[in-house]
Structure 1
Amino acid sequence: MEIFVDNVCLDGETLTVQDVVRVSRPSGGTVAVDIAEPSIAAMKEAVVLKRELIDARIPIYGVTTGFGDSCARQIAPAKAAELQRNLILYHLNGVGTTAAPDVTRATMLIRANCLVRGPSAVRPEVAATLLRHLQADMLPLIPEQGSLGASGDLVPLCYVAAALLGEGDVLHEGRTRPVLDALREAGIAPLTLEPKEGLALINGTSFTSAFAALAVADAWELAFAADLASAMTCEALLGNTSHFSPFIHHNKPHPGQVASAELISSLLDGSQLTTSYQEILGHRIPIGERTFLGLSQPIQDKYSVRCAPHVIGVLRDCLEWAERWVTVEINSSTDNPLFDAGEGALHHGGNFYAGHVGHAMDSLKVAVASVADLLDRQMELVVDEKFNSGLTPNLIPRVEDDQWEAGLHHGFKGMQIAASAVTAEALKHSSPATVFSRSTEAHNQDKVSMGTIAARDARTIIECTRNVAAIHLLALAQALDLRGPGLASPAVRTAYELIRAHAPFVAADRRMDRDIHAVAELIKTGALRRIVSEGLPAGERVPG
């Protein structure tokens, strides 16, 4: 029996990134998705206008003309429906890795939401059938490569459209099978397309936007994990909490920077491991009349600790506007042409251009990769005996020199190597994709967005950075074991206990890849944020 745990009603205007995550990554049951009644009426009105214009035998792009630079070739209305099927078939040429199920679900949801706005002039049953496929978790196998992000995601979305027609294979109930078999079992009839409907299904930015929406959600979790890791680094290194003083950050009031500093400060509240500038002053030997005095403790920490809010704050501020841009995109009519039922007009344009999403993802890539580099630098300080304030080399367990175990173990040495390698990979992918426009399709698509590649790169960088964060958090939990977990702040102890519930103390050299995966999942699912933020003041809790 299918369990519905929530519902989303599509109206083409109010879909959120959080809705996309809930539907594409269901937890505990299926999220029911339906269409608002006013949207059904709007779709029907546009269909009426479309049919009137077709009957008038005027050239309508992609309906009674060819596609792309073939728009100068008009066909008779009698051929219009067959043209739509051919459009889908000749774009089934994607290559590369098959998109993950959450990306495919997000693509289907976003495409349906764009269609229910109305101007695309598709029948309500087209969007409803797409949603029935989604609810049955009948997922087309979409190759990741092949889209320029303008004229929309033609190639990837053709795999969605083909499944609606009963063409090709789908992932259903954990196995790959012909879509016709899955449709018969689910009691869903294949669609027969009317004029414009094939073009409306594929001529949009929904595949790009699916990657982007999930990337935004995942990057918010990374921002929290990075702030938490920075607080734990401060404790592991016996660092100076004065660097996170509100006075400092309110004098450079970038909202993300202020939020990051406030969160780190709140996470450190009650710590017995950290110090402050005033405490350092109280413990120093006065210089008196001397002209030079070496201090026993530096009055400032290194940049990767002191400037953590300035790095993570950039990510937070980038996410604020990136999420706004993505939200606009997933609530837009992103195909061409569009039908204005109110005015009885037809409009040819370029809403399939994924420029905003592409630029948002290029910026997000850089901000996330910078956080990966920050965490990698913090980890260096924690594992390196030259900088880790008395912790053991590579965080090995403490052992006396005359014991057999002395010299046999290397602790987190290999973990640092892995973190550095994955950080380098994140940085490599951070160069902008949107500047690499290629003229194609006989110079009709002579300036394209490359938004799909930018969004896929953002996904990859976020995955890399999540793994770097997981490795670093494991190292920090080890450092707290060596310091004494009871001395950590209450919030940090909560994070430490959750990590230890999934990854034990490294008492001797052992494999740790499973530990990395477990902690990375705690970040991705939001479990780490939720359990830690429960103990914070309400103003410091991160919505999710």
Structure 2
Amino acid sequence: MQHQRNALVIDGRTLRVDDVVDVASGGADVRLAGSAAVRIEQSRELKQTLIDSGQPIYGVTTGFGDSVTRQISSAKTAELQRNLVRYHLNGTGPIAAADVVRATMLIRANCLARGASGIRVAVIDGLLALVNHDALPLIPERGSVGASGDLVPLCYVASAVFGEGRVTYRNETRPATDVWTEIGLPPVVPEAKDGLALINGTSFSAAFAVLALAEAERLVRLAELCTAMASEALLGNSGHFAPFIHAQKPHPGQQASAAAVRELLADSGLALDHGRVVGLTDRIGERGYLKQERSIQDRYSVRCAPHVIGMVRDTAAWVRQWVEIEINSTNDNPLFDAGDGIVHSGGNFYGGHLVQAMDALKVGVANLADLLDRQLELVVDEKFNNGLTPNLVPRFAAGDWRAGLHHGFKGMQIACSAIAAEALKGTMPASVFSRSTEAHNQDKVSMAPIAGRDARAVAALVEEVVAIHLLAMCQALDLRGVENAAPLTRGIHALIRSRVPELTDDRAMDGDIAVVLHLVRSGALVAELDRLRGRGQAIPVG
């Protein structure tokens, strides 16, 4: 794939997850590769030849679904495509976020750019015009079962491409036809197969999948940061992350997560390696019993963190492979083989790989919430936090009238646990809830869009858990003496403290959460971590 500054050239074969994330985040200049245009025109010529021959072609000269036995003349093929789009405009629920809509249109354009769909270049040009001008169709999130593709949500895209329906443009909701006039381009006039090619695919599901994956990969890195800070807050044993341990169970993600936490804890005066922990207590000698100054083993939520976070790393690795195959696939039906001169009917619109990927990803990501909530419980609980104040309340001097009045992070832990529970509740697999639809033609469907939406919703909840956790860890480091923390965790503490002050009296902390949540979702925290590390890139997730 060729890249220019603020430009992306799509060819149907080399689109990356990171490209989609970039375009989804805002303005873009996306163009179709010339090589793709040649393939597209060849398949369209074959389609026209087969139409002229009078043979039935599914969805082109026949009805849709179980109406496949009803053939129409070539004179009716264009109007059939408009009706296909119109009768699927029955979505419900919230309107999809702008990043999802941008990602959907880019992915749909790229899938069609493979050149097996029998459409015109003009259809892809129309999609890209909407992307490049940031004219976004209003897409209700509900209504797709993920086979025969994302029919309902993608119909709102097709409707806008054809100059119908409504779009958001320059912060206003307007008729699509007016926006086409304003940008100085005509809407696409559909011909045979154009509507079906636009709606009969997995692009809406894939948009959620791409964005959920990107968020999961960021959450992996933040969970490693949270774990390092928790280890310091609890005066932990950094030897739990030693290379030798994880080389004996060499899952790549586990090894990578242990290495990341180990690097974050380098030069910490709070979390000590095994030898230093052991050295804090005199040798037992002739004594029959000796209580150690510090435990040589931390609880599972710290000691086993690489095994939990590493699992998500490894899950994200294969999810990325599957998602990138999907967004570079011809996933509609029928398909035109210009080389052999034949048309094929199949089921590439089925979102089976996407639903399995998202069902797995959301389970892994929700586990991060559970892990971090358990770490937070240890840090706020005076029975387990190795000398920190109960609930991380400020330390008050003897006789200070405020003593006993404050409860610090007690409420924050309750909220964190509630959010973690909600994330865990969202892990029910969507793939097993197939429904038979459309007169038993679509009798086994994927439910991919539901799984994709669930995965993104779970990721959003885990981001809230991360924000609360980081606030608590910063408070704990303040109490421990942040000057004793590792340079990297000290740097993240400084970033958060530049925006949120230390807790010195009980106060409302919802605003604090919102501030840190913005740092999480904007990528600012991860960017600062990379800057502190002196590298342009961290240990890759997957």
Listed as ranges, the matches of 1:67-82 within 5 Å are 67-82=64-79
Stretch deviating more after TM superposition (308-317 or 164-173): 164-173
**Equivalent residues of 1:263, 1:540 under 8 A apart:** no
Listed as ranges, the matches of 1:97-246 within 5 Å are 97-246=94-243
Q: Distance in 1 between matches of 2:207 and 2:307?
A: 29
* 1:328 equivalent in alignment to 2:335: no
**Equivalent residues of 1:266, 1:540 under 8 A apart:** no
1:182-223 alpha-carbon deviations (Å, 9 max, x no partner)? 222111212210000000000000000000001111111100
Q: Distance in 1 between matches of 2:364 and 2:172?
A: 37
Q: Distance in 2 between matches of 1:501 and 1:355?
A: 46
Stretch deviating more after TM superposition (342-351 or 161-170): 161-170
1:122-178 alpha-carbon deviations (Å, 9 max, x no partner)? 100110111111111110110111111110000000000011122221111112222
**Equivalent residues of 2:104, 2:206 under 8 A apart:** yes
Partner of residue 380, structure 2: 383
Q: Cα distance, 1:538 vs. partner? A: 5.2
**Equivalent residues of 1:227, 1:264 under 8 A apart:** yes
**Equivalent residues of 2:145, 2:449 under 8 A apart:** yes
Code of the residue aligned with 2:19 in structure 1: it is D
Stretch deviating more after TM superposition (4-13 or 111-120): 4-13
Code of the residue aligned with 1:323 in structure 2: it is R
- Secondary structure of the 1:176 match is strand
Q: Distance in 1 between matches of 2:172 and 2:378?
A: 46
Partner of residue 37, structure 1: 34
Indicate which of 80, 84, 87 corresponds to 1:87: 84
1:238-270 alpha-carbon deviations (Å, 9 max, x no partner)? 100010000000110100000000010000001
Listed as ranges, the matches of 1:112-511 within 5 Å are 112-511=109-508
Q: Cα distance, 1:403 vs. partner? A: 1.4
- Secondary structure of the 2:147 match is coil
Q: Percent of pairs identical after alignment?
A: 57
Q: Cα distance, 1:294 vs. partner? A: 2.9
Code of the residue aligned with 2:450 in structure 1: it is I
Q: Distance in 2 between matches of 1:77 and 1:31?
A: 38
**Equivalent residues of 1:107, 1:209 under 8 A apart:** yes
* 1:63 equivalent in alignment to 2:60: yes
Q: Distance in 1 between matches of 2:219 and 2:476?
A: 21
1:88-124 alpha-carbon deviations (Å, 9 max, x no partner)? 0000001001100000000000000011111011100
Q: Cα distance, 1:279 vs. partner? A: 1.7
Q: Distance in 2 between matches of 1:282 and 1:501?
A: 36
Unaligned runs of 5+ in 1: none
Code of the residue aligned with 1:117 in structure 2: it is R
Stretch deviating more after TM superposition (116-125 or 288-297): 288-297
Q: Distance in 2 between matches of 1:427 and 1:469?
A: 15
Q: Distance in 2 between matches of 1:288 and 1:493?
A: 38
Q: Distance in 2 between matches of 1:202 and 1:515?
A: 43
**Equivalent residues of 2:91, 2:139 under 8 A apart:** yes
Q: Cα distance, 1:400 vs. partner? A: 2.8
Evaluate the alpha carbon distance shift between residue 164 and residue 148 of structure 1 in structure 2; reply closer, same or farther with a 3 A threshold. same
Q: Cα distance, 1:404 vs. partner? A: 2.1
1:490-538 alpha-carbon deviations (Å, 9 max, x no partner)? 1111111111122221222222222222222222232212221233375
Unaligned runs of 5+ in 2: none
Code of the residue aligned with 1:105 in structure 2: it is R
Partner of residue 20, structure 2: 20
- Secondary structure of the 1:405 match is coil
Q: Distance in 1 between matches of 2:512 and 2:184?
A: 43
**Equivalent residues of 1:266, 1:536 under 8 A apart:** no
Q: Cα distance, 1:365 vs. partner? A: 0.7
- Secondary structure of the 1:535 match is helix
* 1:52 equivalent in alignment to 2:49: yes
Stretch deviating more after TM superposition (421-430 or 173-182): 173-182
Q: Distance in 2 between matches of 1:542 and 1:244?
A: 15
Code of the residue aligned with 1:211 in structure 2: it is F
TM-score (norm 1): 0.97
- Secondary structure of the 2:438 match is coil
What is the root-mean-square deviation of aligned Cα atoms in Å? 1.4
**Equivalent residues of 2:392, 2:408 under 8 A apart:** yes
Q: Distance in 2 between matches of 1:316 and 1:73?
A: 50
- Secondary structure of the 2:31 match is strand
1:384-438 alpha-carbon deviations (Å, 9 max, x no partner)? 1111111111111111352122222221111111111110010001111101111
- Secondary structure of the 1:96 match is strand
Q: Distance in 2 between matches of 1:510 and 1:7?
A: 47
Q: Cα distance, 1:543 vs. partner? A: 5.1
Q: Distance in 2 between matches of 1:98 and 1:292?
A: 66
Code of the residue aligned with 1:12 in structure 2: it is G
Q: Distance in 2 between matches of 1:364 and 1:308?
A: 17
Q: Distance in 2 between matches of 1:485 and 1:211?
A: 39
Aligned length: 538
Q: Distance in 2 between matches of 1:177 and 1:539?
A: 42
Partner of residue 9, structure 1: 9
Q: Cα distance, 1:290 vs. partner? A: 4.0
Q: Cα distance, 1:292 vs. partner? A: 3.4
Code of the residue aligned with 1:478 in structure 2: it is Q
Q: Distance in 2 between matches of 1:539 and 1:388?
A: 35
Q: Distance in 2 between matches of 1:459 and 1:502?
A: 27
Partner of residue 96, structure 1: 93
**Equivalent residues of 2:256, 2:539 under 8 A apart:** no
**Equivalent residues of 2:28, 2:131 under 8 A apart:** no
Q: Distance in 1 between matches of 2:110 and 2:137?
A: 18
Q: Distance in 2 between matches of 1:540 and 1:94?
A: 41
- Secondary structure of the 1:220 match is helix
**Equivalent residues of 1:395, 1:411 under 8 A apart:** yes
